[in-house]
Structure 1
Amino acid sequence: MSVEGEFFLSVTGSIEYANFYDIDNVYCKYGYHFGPDWSIVRGIEEGLTQMSKKSTDARQVAVWNFPLDIAFKSINPQGWPQLIVSVYGLDCF
């Protein structure tokens, strides 16, 4: 049962790749930050990608192709969800 004034936001996409020329073995940690009037209807709020080695071609990219699929609901656009992405690597020291 929906509440009057309630709306939904569906986010679908992927974390595809990033360029790291001097760093190998990296992964992403992601999460969503959103206001108190927002709630998750479907999907995962935070997670980790797999570890990726940089490619051996001239681009030297770390490829994840990690899917994102989440749905939110709210009655107020204030506090719109933000995707926060951090990249970590193995400590080689």
Structure 2
Amino acid sequence: MGIDPECQPGFRPGHGGDCIDVDECQEYGAGLCGAQRCENIPGSYRCVPECQPGFRPGHGGDCVDVDECSNGTLCGPHATCHNLPGSFQCACDPRY
């Protein structure tokens, strides 16, 4: 039997003598972050807001708008896409 390695906080000894990440989200469940979504990161976790449709989690932890028009394929060849907060709108070209 080998000696367990000394692991940093957020890690535990694994089978190969390595330290492995503790998935706090899985171990402690949904209550860890309340109404937010738990995201495991190496050695710890973070709480990320559940964003409404049309928004995604940003780097600062808040929800940011998804620009649905950025790929230019949503409205078709005879319309212009206009990004709106959480959505988009297609405006038909004249005579269409």
If the TM-score is normalised by the length of the shorter chain, which range does it land in? under 0.3
Structure number with the higher helix fraction is: 2
Q: TM-score, normalised by structure 1?
A: 0.23
Q: Which has the higher contact order (CA 8 A, sep 6+)?
A: 1
Tell which structure's C-alpha radius of gyration is larger: 2
Q: TM-score, normalised by structure 2?
A: 0.23
